[in-house]
Copies of this chain bind each other. A is one copy, B any other.
């Protein structure tokens, strides 16, 4: 089974306004709440595709109760790890100028809570483990590295083939110690952690530091994958306008599904680009336009890139 883990789970609140104007007073036309955090969004996408998935989340306080209730209402299989702090909120303001996000940092987790989270992950016996999103404040530097390593041995093929890490900054760098099968930074995150402009050189650097493969999201340009089997660029058939908030989570969902099916990289990248576009066309993070997904999988262009000397 695919398992996602979200240490810094959130209640996503989406406000719809006509136009967000800094300094003005706005009356929200619509207010929607749902469980969020990147791992939850990845699980939601996989669930929408009919894929068996389990979300391991943290939940505390009244906001945590709302998160757990929403997961249950959505029919998402979840392991809820109770925490003492109050679960954070992320606020999305949808207006004519696009989506504006405002993220709370989230509560600190105690060491017993980290242990409970790792135990919940191990209990769920993942075939593919997805570690997604920011770490809560005060998290151990190597929190993702430890979660990636907490995969019980013997539950499937070697762990180096079975995990995805989608985070940024120090959490990404220290997570590489857990030898994730794939890391999925976007181009800015990749440049930030490596200090390198060239994405292939930067991805190669992350592979040297522990990543099996690096899939870089290039926004409207699609994906670049630097893998043990070669380097590819996958380009969507058309530029889409919509809500790009959930596009990265859809890429991760597709990668998790493709990895679980041992798909070759070109097939896996077609799936990822198509699902990413389907998320841009969905109204909220975690929603996907299934018709676009199935159509676009046939249309994505995947080009192998020549091997470079390194």
- Please tell me if A103 contacts chain B, counting CB pairs below 8 Å: yes
Q: Is the CB of A22 within 8 A of B103?
A: no
- Please tell me if A73 contacts chain B, counting CB pairs below 8 Å: no
Residues of B within 8 A of A63 (CB): 62
Residues of B within 8 A of A15 (CB): 91, 102, 104
Q: Which residue of B lies closest to A88 (CB)?
A: B31
Q: Is the CB of A104 within 8 A of B31?
A: yes
Residues 56-87 of A contacting B (Cβ, < 8 Å): 62-63, 65-66
Q: Which of B21, B23, B103 is close to A26, meaning CB atoms less than 8 Å apart?
A: B103
Q: Is the CB of A100 within 8 A of B22?
A: yes
Q: Is the CB of B22 within 8 A of A22?
A: yes
Residues of B within 8 A of A25 (CB): 101, 103
Q: Is the CB of B103 within 8 A of A23?
A: no
Q: Convert A21-36 into 0s and 1s, putting 1 for each residue whose CB lies closer than 8 angstroms to a CB of B.
A: 1111111100100000
How near does chain B come to A135, taking the closest CB pair, in angstroms? 13
Q: Is the CB of A21 within 8 A of B100?
A: yes
In the complex, what distance in Å separates the CA atom of A22 from the CA atom of B28? 15
Q: Which residue of B lies closest to A98 (CB)?
A: B23
- Please tell me if A280 contacts chain B, counting CB pairs below 8 Å: no
Residues of B within 8 A of A98 (CB): 22-23
How near does chain B come to A61, taking the closest CB pair, in angstroms? 8
- Please tell me if A230 contacts chain B, counting CB pairs below 8 Å: no
- Please tell me if A143 contacts chain B, counting CB pairs below 8 Å: no
- Please tell me if A257 contacts chain B, counting CB pairs below 8 Å: no
Q: Is the CB of B17 within 8 A of A97?
A: no
Q: Which residue of B lies closest to A102 (CB)?
A: B26
In the complex, what distance in Å separates the CA atom of A28 from the CA atom of B102? 6
Given A26-B102, A62-B65, A91-B91, 18 new contacts (CB under 8 A): A15-B102, A17-B102, A20-B22, A21-B100, A22-B95, A22-B97, A22-B100, A23-B98, A23-B100, A24-B101, A26-B100, A27-B103, A28-B102, A28-B104, A28-B105, A31-B104, A62-B62, A93-B102
Task: Identify 30 residue pairs between A and B in the complex whose beta-carbon atoms are under 8 Å apart, listed by A's number.
Answer: A15-B91, A15-B102, A15-B104, A17-B102, A20-B20, A20-B22, A20-B100, A21-B22, A21-B100, A22-B95, A22-B97, A22-B98, A22-B100, A23-B97, A23-B99, A24-B100, A24-B101, A25-B101, A25-B103, A26-B101, A27-B103, A28-B103, A28-B104, A28-B105, A31-B105, A62-B63, A62-B65, A62-B66, A91-B91, A93-B102
Pairs A-B, 4 closest by C-beta atoms? A62-B62, A25-B101, A22-B97, A23-B98
